[in-house]
Amino acid sequence: MLRTILIILAVCVTAPHTSAAQDLQSLLQSHQRLVAKPSAKTVGVVLDDLASSGLSGTADFLEKWRNKDLWVRKEDGRFFYTAMAEAQLTLLDIDTGQVVGTTSKKHLKQIRPNGGVRKAIASALVQFQLNDPDITRRKAAVDAIARAMTADQLAPLEAAIDNEADADLKAQKMRLAVMLRASFAPTTEARLAAITALSDDISVDTRAVLNQILTTKRHAAVSIPSDLNVATQLMVGKDISSLDAYAMLVDANLAQPRVKASDIVSVLSANIENGRVAGTPVRLLDTIEAREKAYDSLAAAGAAPTRITDAAAQRLIETHVFFDSYSESDIRVTAAAKLALDGIETRVAISHAADLTLDALSLASIYFLAAIGLAVTFGVMGVINMAHGEFIMMGAYTGYVVQLFVPNYTLSIIVALPLAFAVTFAAGVALERLVIRWLYHRPLETLLATFGISIALQQLAKNIFGTQARPLTSPAWLDGAWVINDVIAISYIRIAIFVLAIIFLSLIVWILRKTRLGLEMRAVTQNPGMAASMGINPDRINMLTFGLGSGIAGIAGVAIGLYAKVTSEMGADYIVQSFMTVVVGGVGNVWGTLAGATMIGFLQKGIEWFNPSNTLAAQTYMILFIILFIQFRPKGIVALRGRAAGD
Amino acid sequence: MMKPGFLSQNQSVLWFLATLGMFTLGVTALAEATGTGALSTSFVKTLGKTLCLCLIAIAMDVVWGYCGILSLGHFAFFGIGGYAIGMWLMYARTESIVSESLSAAVIPPTDQEIVEAIGTQIFGVVGSSDFPVIWAFADSLGLQLLMVILVPGLMALVFGWLAFRSRVTGVYLSILTQAMTLALSLYLFQNDSGLRGNNGLSGLQNIPGFDATPQSMISIAFFWASALALGLGYLLFAFVTSGKMGSVVRGIRDDEARVRFLGYHVESYKLFIFTLTAIIAGIAGALYYPQAGIINPAEIAPIASIYLAVWVAIGGRGRLYGAVIGAAFVSLLSSWFTGGGAPDISLGVYTIHWTDWWLVLLGLSFVAVTLFAPKGIGGLFDLLIRKEGSR
């Protein structure tokens, strides 16, 4: 930032003046009195002259002038910028910025323009900034206008469009000008045209402009006045509660404030005499009715303001109207803005739906990646592997360790993917050889034994890597997001995961359909005994299948680790969802897993859409839905038929 | 209801009850309030809690070891029981505190003001002050005790009916039950679930109306109650699993289809066992959490129910005392190891801290038990009996 300012200063100082006949000081000296004692009426002359002079230091000067940083030397009336140096002031030449001397404060006078002048200077300044030769300054000026739009910015902005050299900035200026015209153009026709032009734009700031035009204020009145641009009449009990309605009446001085329960209590406690309030013993005042009765008798005696009864309040509410009115008085403008906004909202909703679909697809691909390995082992071998989540974690930690050694993120990911596969493949084969093959006829016990492995692995990871989350950094080209418009955006990592999921889907389908291993796998799935008698070694197939499933889990781990943090518990977060995916999809079928992942992904995003603040509720309802779904399709979406289905 | 020969046919039941009685008397004699004080109050509470865990373990054993339904969701029922009793404990205690503080006011409070103050006190942490519908009976101990039985029972009934009716079995059923408990815990984690989100219910060790009674005495009372519940539960399950009913249930475990072909209505048996064990789990939870003092949704995360299965498997399935041994042994050992009670082992280059390595050991020993000793610790008794028989 400082550097930019310095460069700008340097440019200001060294640039040869286009109209070298004059410098800033002499121009200002020709209006000496008007600059030194500016008033809102006369400052226009100076500003016009400055604008037409084309001097490069003008913007800088206007800024200093507005910010009370301009000083005048009493003896000769020359203007200087200053810098503090102990008790003295250092004088800087306003044209060159060079030090011309130091002097004490009493020889100088600070120029303090009043509010009206500062406003005039500011709007002139906008014009200068918008035409500044430096593009960063122009951009800053445009951004400043976009942040706080006012009517007087419109003319300078429109004037600055034609000379804009940068095409992007020109478009931005034109867009901003349309927004300003929608709010501030002098004629209704111009505003209507601008609003119509805005209706094609779904960006947040456009919506803000239209909403600004449609700002409403709430009123309570005896009848609807004809001079207000009424937006809606409010129904008490439907649009506003009668409590709020009464509060509005009080605010509008149309009704007396009601006595609150706490006021009753304080009045009663202030009027206790000999343990009684208005003749009622204090200990009996433990119901609202008794309290109100005692209060009413106090009020009748003049000791407290009279209580307004519910019926009276209701009558008051019924005899008044409540309505919202636009701050904008022109009904044609509000109508057009409302129409435009409605159109935009519809398009925003469509975009939201598209965005949600993308989100759901990406979630589905994550579930698919997490579950496909499980589907292979569960489907082919009928073995449930509770340690599957820990294989995912193992893959993610493999990626993390690789990044410790390979600093290039792109290269490290390329190395990590096959390495994660290799590590988890080996772990899977070891698990199958050591544990699972002894338990093929006891599926429930496989579940428990692999659970034992799972807690051991989880704790082991905790012991090795600690409990804090480890980063798995994605390469720079995966940072950022693909932004289609203000609503639809999807991060590149999610796209990459989607692509990875598709690659694995094709790969597995290819292995199962086109390779010898796949053929043997399918044979073992359908009938292990028959497969064995055809010369297939089921032991070997089981081992390879388990290794393959685990290896895919490892790769899924790298992918998941890229967008979520790597912790020892990350596997546990996915294991139940993975089981759901497999079970919902139908066991023993890749397409089933795909269908299951898609359904669960879309379901979860869909439920989140109904209740966006609460992802926990979304998960709860999704699981309940799945439990119900299993009731009606116990074999999943894609159920195996015939002999292959087994019992 | 019991046939006269029931106990004489099941000598292990007598043995168990005798052991439990001796144990209870022994602990009472050593406790602070009633005996020598050799056992601290917190340890008595730990023992009492362990008895409750034993109770849910035998329920798990009946549903899994006898009926073959590997439920990975029984801790949900345990938690519901705890929440049901916790609601009353928290309400009643807050009520007494609130009434006391409000009675100092000049004007006596209305009933509604008291309820509002209780609501603010209880739900302030989740930014609310209104009582949710599920707290409708929280002011009545009797009704909440009924809830301890009814809510887990009804939930199990509905869930079981849906699941068994569509013949969901085996690992599918296990995953479904796991999903059930996950859904419940996720639901309870929300702040607007009406049960204080992840704060859970706390201060449950303070029993309303017994403010003057020291915790050492309360702990003994709950210890006795837990022992009694375990004894009665053991008797009940021993009865259910013996005789013809027990044979059918075990038949379902071994071959469901054959039992169905023999004309038994398998679904009804399974539903009965599932619901009954859920109710017992609820009761166990209702006794456990006043001793633990706090309940929150993390207690019913799926992992808890899996540990339950681990206990039963290590203790030995299909024998009730096995479940008791497994639950007591593993949970006490677990707290000994994770509590830093076990001495560290120095290997020169690396020191094994058991707080870090206990879960690894547990996981691996669990695998070893599954592989090499499918009968668990209870299997050792078989060896003993066989030796005596052959002698």
> Cα angle at A599 between A597 and A605, to 5 degrees?
100
Three-state DSSP class for residue A230: strand
Q: Is residue B227 part of a domain?
A: yes
Q: Is residue B274 part of a domain?
A: yes
Residue A646 pLDDT exceeds 50: no
Q: How far apart are CA A305 and CA A403, in angstroms?
A: 76
For chain A, how long is the longest CA-to-CA vector? 115
Instruction: Identify which has the larger pLDDT, A493 or A11.
Output: A493
Q: Which domain holds residue B48?
A: 5-338+353-390
The amino acid present at B189, given as its one-letter code, is: F
Do A201 and A344 contact (CB within 8 A), yes or no?
yes
Containing A321, the helix (H) or strand (E) segment is strand A321-326
Taking CA atoms, what residue in B is nearest to A440?
B371
Residue B174 pLDDT exceeds 60: yes
Do B200 and B294 contact (CB within 8 A), yes or no?
yes
- Place B26 in a pLDDT band, splitting at 50, 70 and 90: very high
Provide the pLDDT for residue A2.
Answer: 52
Taking CA atoms, what residue in A is nearest to B360?
A456
Q: Calculate mean pLDDT across residues A287-297.
A: 84
With DSSP H G I counted as helix, E B as strand and the rest as coil, what are the percentages for chain B, rounded to 5?
Answer: 75, 5, 25
Do B117 and B98 contact (CB within 8 A), yes or no?
yes
Q: What digits encode the pLDDT tens for the residues A598-608? A: 988 888 888 88
- Would you call B254 an interface residue with chain A, using a CB distance cutoff of 8 Å? no
User: What residues pair up with A491 in beta bridges, in sequence order?
Assistant: A481
pLDDT, mean over chain B: 87
* B61 secondary structure, DSSP code: I
Q: Calculate mean pLDDT across residues B242-247.
A: 88
Of B150, B157, B320, nearest to B239 (Cα)?
B320
Q: How far apart are CA B46 and CA B39, in angstroms?
A: 11
What tokens does B214 get? 């020291």
- From A283, A449, A632, residue closest to B370, measured CB to CB: A449
The amino acid present at A127, given as its one-letter code, is: Q
Burial code (b: 16+ CB inside 10 Å, e: under 16) for A341-361 equals: beebeebbeebeeebbebbbb
Give the dihedral of Cα atoms B160, B161, B165, B170; nearest 10 deg: 0
Of A386, A446, A315, A424, nearest to A578 (Cα)?
A386
What tokens does A593 get? 């897993």
Contacts of A583 in chain B (CB under 8 A): 172, 175-176
Contact criterion met (CB < 8 Å) for A458 and B165: no
Q: How many domains does chain B have?
A: 1
Do B373 and A465 contact (CB within 8 A), yes or no?
no
ipTM above 0.90, yes or no: no
The amino acid present at A54, given as its one-letter code, is: G
Handedness of CA A454, A456, A459, A461 (dihedral sign): negative
Three-state DSSP class for residue B168: coil
Provide the pLDDT for residue B249.
Answer: 93
Q: Is residue B326 part of a domain?
A: yes
Residue B8 pLDDT exceeds 70: no
What tokens does A87 get? 């008790």
For chain B, percent of residues with pLDDT exceeding 90: 41
Contact criterion met (CB < 8 Å) for B168 and A631: yes
Q: Is residue B346 part of a domain?
A: no
Provide the pLDDT for residue A612.
Answer: 66
Q: How far apart are CA B168 and CA B148, in angstroms?
A: 27
What tokens does A645 get? 């289905």
Contact criterion met (CB < 8 Å) for A459 and B359: yes
What tokens does A186 get? 């002098």
- From A449, A456, A576, residue closest to B360, measured CB to CB: A456
Among A609-618, B210-219, B377-386, whose mean pLDDT is lowest?
A: A609-618
Q: Is residue B348 part of a domain?
A: no
- Place B104 in a pLDDT band, splitting at 50, 70 and 90: confident
Cβ-Cβ pairs closer than 8 A, A with B, add up to 151
Is the pTM here over 0.80, yes or no?
no
- Would you call A283 an interface residue with chain B, using a CB distance cutoff of 8 Å? yes
Q: How far apart are CA A616 and CA B99, in angstroms?
A: 36
Provide the pLDDT for residue A12.
Answer: 46
Q: How far apart are CA B157 and CA B166, in angstroms?
A: 14
Q: Is residue B139 part of a domain?
A: yes
- Place A407 in a pLDDT band, splitting at 50, 70 and 90: confident
Q: How far apart are CA A577 and CA A583, in angstroms?
A: 10
Provide the pLDDT for residue A626.
Answer: 83
First to last CA, chain A: 73
Residue A546 pLDDT exceeds 50: yes
Q: Calculate mean pLDDT across residues A197-219.
A: 83
Which position has the token pair 């009797």?
Answer: B142
Instruction: Identify which has the larger pLDDT, B158 or A23.
Output: B158
Q: Is residue B162 part of a domain?
A: yes
What tokens does A598 get? 């898609």
Taking CA atoms, what residue in A is nearest to B366?
A452
Q: Is residue B343 part of a domain?
A: no
User: What residues pair up with A56 in beta bridges, in sequence order?
Assistant: none
Contacts of A626 in chain B (CB under 8 A): 179
Residue A11 pLDDT exceeds 80: no
